[in-house]
Amino acid sequence: MPELNTPTAPEAATASLPRFDDFGLAPPILQALAEQGYQHPTPIQAQAIPVVLQGRDVMGAAQTGTGKTAGFSLPIIQQLLPHANTSASPARHPVRALILTPTRELADQVADNVKSYSRHTPLRSAVVFGGIDMAPQTAALRAGVEILIATPGRLLDHVQQKTLNLSQTEIFVMDEADRMLDMGFLPDLQRIINLLPKQRQNLMFSATFSPEIKKLASSFLKNPQLIEVARSNATAERVTQIIYKVEEEAKRDAVVHLLKQREIRQVIVFSNTKIGASRLARELERAGVKASAIHGDKTQAERMAALEAFKAGGIDVLVATDVAARGLDIAELPCVINYDLPYNAEDYVHRIGRTGRAGASGDALSLYCEKDARLLLDIEKLIKQKLTPVELEDFHPRSARGERAERSDRQGDRSNDRSERRTERAARSASAPMPRKEKVDPWFLKPYEPAAPSVPMEEKPVDPRNAKAAPKRAALLGGRSKT
Ligand code: AMP
């Protein structure tokens, strides 16, 4: 199995790697890949591209970060090339490939990738997701697109408004299927599948394969080829994991201490709750750290702005909940911090997979309190590795937090409703894992979102003055710039 291509791979080692032109991809696609700076296919691409080109159904076991998007989009573009045309008539551009993703961020990223890979072909693509104005999406759909990337709720909105016809869909992709089920999208998925022609190619990707996922797969995949690139806990091997033993009330000080002590510049800090994420971001700001929270209570525009600012270097610390961070295409991250140990051991693997990507090494630092013993045990079982909590060096936490901070916290929380506070209190006092549903941001759980007009993403541009050059920055593996 070839290693994931990295710019640092020695020449001798890359000579034997497969190449994109081995797959018979058309010159406009190869040109786009060369411009992206991709030299060799990643393992999932090397396996998936030939199978998808044969028209077979695929069940792919791969996480975000493995290059799976190109693994399915490149052969889709290749297969649709015979239909590519420059006609102005919408009828000549029906939706032929539908790619469903669970989150808006992932939809946006997949759409960016598809756009770049197809930019030298006349094929059209568009993305539709909730939280932003429907009008520009409607205009794009009316003009006609061959490749549509969508989240389930907004897709159904467009179907209902009769701005979208899926009757000519030849290829259907379900990305991050496990997360779709976690988020309660099953009924929507079934409705969408019923709108597609019976005769079609199906590709399904999932990081985990629970019995529910297998059931879903067997309900709509026909004789699928199983493609697996790595076990879901493989990332742990490249990442240095340290578990720090701290008192619950000293956790915020511990984060500040770690940032200073280890001179950490760019880091995602994971919190189990939205309120916890917001509060920690505020505390860090007060301590002079450029931080922002990203979770389901933020508008789409705010989330995108925070993400862009983080990528550009305007923000050093992104405090995120699991679902909000899921699917974010942030690579080369030197470090992640688990402010809370996750309730699900699998989320630990997803979190630490944010660092140590593309063959690079990374640090995963976790804060651990006595009450987390059971969570740590679950993680150790999953990654088959013993993680012994250690003391945090030179750390002398204040015994109690200042009253001013408490008061201002309370003020900040006033805007959050009671049920959220209850969730957080429950989470803080939890000695055993909470059921998965409770930790997922409700914002993501709405299976069918009625279209509500809101601010377009462009309304909150990132101030370029905030961007600064830094030697090691998270970046899109495929490049920073958006086309
Ligand atoms: P994905 O898992 O599809 O989200 O991809 C993760 C990142 O890897 C994206 O930023 C891609 O642009 C990048 N990428 C995908 N394929 C390659 C490749 N063959 N060489 C280098 N980077 C790639």
Entry pTM: 0.61
Task: Say if CB 133 and CB 123 are below 8 A apart.
Answer: no
Overall number of domains in the chain: 2
For tokens 């309730």, name the residue.
Answer: 343
Decide if 245 is inside a domain: yes
Does 191 lie in the same domain as 68?
A: yes
Q: Which two tokens stand for residue 142?
A: 């009316």
Does 249 lie in the same domain as 371?
A: yes
Domain boundary among 334, 367, 395: 395
User: Ligand 1 in contact with 71 (CB < 6 A)?
Assistant: no
Amino acid 441: pLDDT: 37
User: Ligand 1 in contact with 329 (CB < 6 A)?
Assistant: yes
* 175 Cα: distance to centroid of ligand 1 (angstroms): 15
User: Ligand 1 in contact with 28 (CB < 6 A)?
Assistant: no
> Chunked in runs of 10, what are the mean pLDDT values of the chain (483 residues)?
35 65 96 93 93 97 82 98 97 98 91 97 97 95 98 96 96 93 91 96 88 90 88 60 95 93 90 92 92 82 83 90 71 86 86 69 91 94 88 78 39 32 38 36 34 31 34 34 32
Decide if 76 is inside a domain: yes
Decide if 279 is inside a domain: yes
Does 209 lie in the same domain as 282?
A: no
User: Ligand 1 in contact with 353 (CB < 6 A)?
Assistant: no
Does 247 lie in the same domain as 204?
A: no
Decide if 274 is inside a domain: yes
Does 354 lie in the same domain as 278?
A: yes
Q: Phi and psi (nearest 5°) for 425? A: -60, -40
Which residues are 150's β-sheet partners? 100, 128
Does 209 lie in the same domain as 156?
A: yes
- Helix (H/G/I), strand (E/B), else coil: 271: coil
Decide if 470 is inside a domain: no
Amino acid 480: pLDDT: 30
Q: Which two tokens stand for residue 379?
A: 């993680």
Question: How far from chain centre, in Å, is Cα 421?
Answer: 26
Q: Which atom of ligand 1 is nearest to the CA of 109?
A: 4
Does 333 lie in the same domain as 290?
A: yes
* 443 Cα: distance to centroid of ligand 1 (angstroms): 28
Which residue is closest in CA terms to ligand 1's atom 14? 67
Does 52 lie in the same domain as 182?
A: yes
Task: Say if CB 483 and CB 112 are below 8 A apart.
Answer: yes
User: Ligand 1 in contact with 64 (CB < 6 A)?
Assistant: yes
Question: How far from chain centre, in Å, is Cα 334?
Answer: 17
* 351 Cα: distance to centroid of ligand 1 (angstroms): 18
- Distance separating alpha carbons of residues 123 and 139, to the nearest angstrom: 17
Does 221 lie in the same domain as 282?
A: no
CATH of residue 166? 3.40.50.300
Q: Which atom of ligand 1 is nearest to the CA of 20?
A: 19
User: Ligand 1 in contact with 5 (CB < 6 A)?
Assistant: yes
For 469, residues 6+ apart whose C-beta sits below 8 A from its C-beta are: 313
Left, alpha or beta for 85 (phi > 0: left; psi -120 to 50: alpha)?
Answer: beta
The one-letter amino acid code at 402 reads: G
- Helix (H/G/I), strand (E/B), else coil: 327: coil
Amino acid 397: pLDDT: 81
Amino acid 210: pLDDT: 79
Does 223 lie in the same domain as 245?
A: no
Decide if 454 is inside a domain: no
- Which residue segment(s) compose the domain that 216 sits in? 16-228
* 115 Cα: distance to centroid of ligand 1 (angstroms): 14
